[in-house]
Structure 1
Amino acid sequence: MKLASTSSRALRPVAALAAAGLLAFGAQAQDKPVELKLAHWVPPNHALFKTGFEPWSKSVEAASKGTIKVSIFPAQQLGKAADHYDMARDGIADMTFVNPGYQAGRFPVIAAGELPFLVSKPGPASAALDAWYRKYAPTEMKDVKVCLAHLHIGTIHAKKPITEPAQIKGMKIRSSNATNAAFVSLLGGTNVQVSAPEARDALEKGVADALSFPWESVVSFGIDKAVKYHTDMRLYASNFVWAMNKNWYDKLSASQKKVIDDHCNNEWAAKVGAGWGDLEDAGQGKLEKAPGHTIVKLTPAQMDQWRKAAEPLYVQWTQNVDKAGVSGKQALDELRKEIDARKAN
């Protein structure tokens, strides 16, 4: 009897674990299949599709055991690039790819990531931006669930060689975001406000003389047909947010929410930023070898001119954020600490 009693007690934890496993399996089995409509505005052959949207979607589907099916809508199929934040808010798509800088002044805090020469390594910088912005996203982007944030780094591509900031005066520049546009204005240039998919057309029609763009995207958007000179510097960064419709997320089962939460984290932000950034940077080598294209090198003195010319933008950003009720100095100090900790510059 004692032996039997001891065996019985020993088996109880095993039975409890088995029961818990069956319950977990039952909960997973009862998850209703759902579709996640992911909308973005870059072309299907874009580097971000290969390094971000596709692997992320496949991982979500696998982790959810097929109960979350991701349908990707590229190239502005569901709406214009500048509308993607509102598309996520309104449920036109369940997740969207947002460039906050396409709507000047609407998201002043995250614009810190756009400040010139602040970062130079897209992977670590994306991790820094994402970690830092999680404190501010619930207030600044309260209409959506922010999945992750990342960035890319680019330069100026033009119809003539650009080596000094003084050359921007009188030029028509397609800017990558609001901060970049402010820099162009500060230097005496005229901003051409078109999204990335519309940039080539603006150049070919003479509406723009140059544009701010990352390297590989110059090729994937066909912009290499319209500009031939590419300045070799880390001029700017553009921030991006993957924004999710709150109602879509709230309707998920507990296990499905965990899948999404496990894919909306700093690890994925760093992974997407590094994957995309490395492919973008590789585009410089392609253009260097392409017939008729010139990589414009800068001297240290010329780089100092660019950095000095950008200093007023830091003051302007701090003032804008202060007006929004956030300490600009504190926020920028926090971001710089994250950047330094990850050796992103």
Structure 2
Amino acid sequence: MKRSLRSLCLAGLLLALLVGSPSPSGAATNLTFSIFFPPTHAQAQAALDFAKEIEKRTGDTVRVTPFPGGTLTKAPQVYDGVVTGITDLGNSCFAYTRGRFPVTAALDLPMGYPSGQVASEVANAFVKEVAPAELKDVKVLYVHAHGPGLLHTKKPVRTLEDLKGMKIRATGLSAQVVEALGGVPVAMPQGGTYEALQKGVVEGTFGPIEALKGWKQAEVVKYTTDCVSVGYTTAMFVVMNRAKWDALPEETKAIIDQVSAEWSAVHGRAWDAADAE
């Protein structure tokens, strides 16, 4: 009887140890996330919230470490960083690697986008429907885009004659918009624009009006030309390393897909709130 009781206690103790011990297969998946926006920017906050939502809905079986402000990979290198595995997730602009994404570049045409929400819905739906082959080396989580790109300058531009010959910072197809309007395009990501305006390297920039606060450009420009009829946008991606995606359990993939399906609209609303402010 004593021997049976001792054996039963020992078996119970072993079972408790097995249940209480973490299983190697149940270890959390840790992901890095490169974000080109500065950490205080509304779009960086939206991306950070995306990371937190994934952690929440997966019960912390997926943990995301964000690197805003281009601290892990600079804006033009974010996509390649994801492809090569330098980072697991990445958020930047297609236009920052001009010529690499000829299909998605169509989204940046000056089609008179009225808002960030509309631009984000169009961009996300376009990439889902068309599934461009140029994006096959990553898992596309979602796409979003800013509201109407406007002209911000150090001196007033009220006519095409005023713009003629002015050096204007632009990216991707917006550089062609500058050229078509008579200006001189200077290709540059947003991160370098403040200094370029401050030092007179450029005399103006094309971008959503939120950039006056989000990138602090109101400190170095004095005028905005309300040219909504041009209404170009810049499509932006949130993508994941293909091998890292393929290694995830199916239930985890389903959760990330669900969150991603919601988050393009989150960014769209954030664009519009920042523009309004």
Bin for the TM-score computed over the shorter chain: 0.7 to 0.9
Q: Given the alignment of the two structures, is residue 121 of structure 1 paired with residue 135 of structure 2, yes or no?
A: no
Matched residues in 2 for 1:47 and 1:215: separation? 13
Equivalent residue for 1:252, pick from 248, 253, 265:
248
1:268-283 mapped onto 2 (5 Å cutoff): 268-274=263-269, 276-283=270-277
Find the residue that maps to 1:252 and give its secondary structure: coil
Q: Which runs of 5+ in 1 are unaligned?
A: 1-27, 284-345
- Counterpart residue number, 1:211: 205
1:1-345 mapped onto 2 (5 Å cutoff): 31-50=26-45, 52-153=46-147, 154-175=149-170, 177-234=171-228, 235-265=231-261, 267-274=262-269, 276-283=270-277
| 1:79 maps to amino acid | T
Deviations 1:73-116, CA, capped at 9 Å, x for gaps = 01111122111110111111111112111122211111122111
| 1:60 maps to amino acid | I
- Counterpart residue number, 1:14: none
Matched residues in 2 for 1:138 and 1:31: separation? 35
> Residue 135 of structure 1: CA displacement?
3.0
Asked whether the 8 Å contact 2:32–2:67 carries over to 1, the reply is yes
> Residue 29 of structure 1: CA displacement?
10
| 1:155 maps to amino acid | L
- Counterpart residue number, 2:7: none
Work out the number of aligned pairs and report it: 252
Find the residue that maps to 2:176 and give its secondary structure: helix
Sequence identity, in percent? 34
> Residue 248 of structure 1: CA displacement?
1.0
The root-mean-square deviation of aligned C-alpha atoms, in Å, is 1.8
Deviations 1:40-69, CA, capped at 9 Å, x for gaps = 11111001122x212211211111001111
Asked whether the 8 Å contact 2:143–2:235 carries over to 1, the reply is yes
Distance 1:137 1:165, change over 3 A: farther
> Residue 138 of structure 1: CA displacement?
4.7
Matched residues in 2 for 1:100 and 1:206: separation? 26
Find the residue that maps to 1:79 and give its secondary structure: coil
Matched residues in 2 for 1:132 and 1:220: separation? 27
- Counterpart residue number, 1:297: none
> What TM-score comes out, normalization by structure 2 length?
0.85
Deviations 1:112-131, CA, capped at 9 Å, x for gaps = 22111332122133122211
Matched residues in 2 for 1:151 and 1:29: separation? 40
Matched residues in 1 for 2:207 and 2:104: separation? 19
Find the residue that maps to 1:188 and give its secondary structure: coil
Find the residue that maps to 2:136 and give its secondary structure: coil
Asked whether the 8 Å contact 1:41–1:97 carries over to 2, the reply is yes
| 2:31 maps to amino acid | L
Distance 1:251 1:196, change over 3 A: same
* Structure with higher helix content: 1
Distance 1:125 1:193, change over 3 A: closer
Q: Which runs of 5+ in 2 are unaligned?
A: 1-22
Find the residue that maps to 1:66 and give its secondary structure: coil
Matched residues in 2 for 1:109 and 1:78: separation? 27
| 1:180 maps to amino acid | S
Asked whether the 8 Å contact 2:154–2:221 carries over to 1, the reply is yes
Asked whether the 8 Å contact 2:103–2:132 carries over to 1, the reply is no
Asked whether the 8 Å contact 1:100–1:241 carries over to 2, the reply is yes
Matched residues in 2 for 1:270 and 1:219: separation? 21
Matched residues in 1 for 2:35 and 2:223: separation? 28
Matched residues in 1 for 2:248 and 2:164: separation? 53
Asked whether the 8 Å contact 1:95–1:243 carries over to 2, the reply is yes
